[in-house]
Structure 1
């Protein structure tokens, strides 16, 4: 993660938060698009979206009360696939929000949706799929929920997330079979 100072600010803000969220509730964090976040076109560069998603997931886990419990148990989230769709550019030197929602999970993977807003307008959407590991071993997601103190059943994934998840699995398998992995 290349946004260390923003991470520190996020953690400090979240430590003072009094309004915790349930795991399936949308969490929101706010940032400012600074000049070093921009590309030569003068708007938020593509690579920063992934970095802001990392921060937003940390914020969401803080809001859910899960982050410290999971870290204490040595559980680390790892992104296995991510895709962004950009609708409009995010302008520099202005605030923007990232709203993050866990769409659902199965025995291995969880899927987050991150929506980027500026001045109330949707600018980009990102789907991210991940796992949790402990000592380099996959932790079943049911165990992750148990460690975090949640007893939940995954809601049905929206059709677009099911299709994206399937396509990311096919891509992974094809690359693995090709020997390039």
Structure 2
């Protein structure tokens, strides 16, 4: 396990509602030390526990699929996600996400899929020089609006940036 770099965790055991059981994010020392790629699905962790994943020193790609995390609010912790390059969030009930450029200093790509409750993409992400690609698939109009503001800011700075929105009529 100490050389493991890619881990996918899928909760396929419980069919009962998550309110009847609670999974907790293990402490950072329980994860393989060289972990670079992590995918979580149906784990229903609380967004307040995301700080644990932010402490994984070598994490480069984080895919949160199908209610990996649930809850209305996520405030990114200072000093977290120092090496994260790709963040994918899909099918979540997240409404408010608070983050700035110094939270994800190496982020290159952000994918939000079916995050229809999210009020906005944090405008502070425009401060990340390495952020080059943002994909929104089935997002709220307000999230799309904020993503377009990020695009405008990035282009004004002369940063290369691509924004993809589906459906395109938003």
For Structure 1 versus Structure 2, the TM-score category normalised by the shorter chain is: under 0.3
Provide the TM-score with structure 1 as the length reference: 0.27
More relative contact order in 1 or in 2 (CA 8 Å, sep 6+)? 1
Larger radius of gyration: 1
Specify which structure has the higher proportion of helix: 1
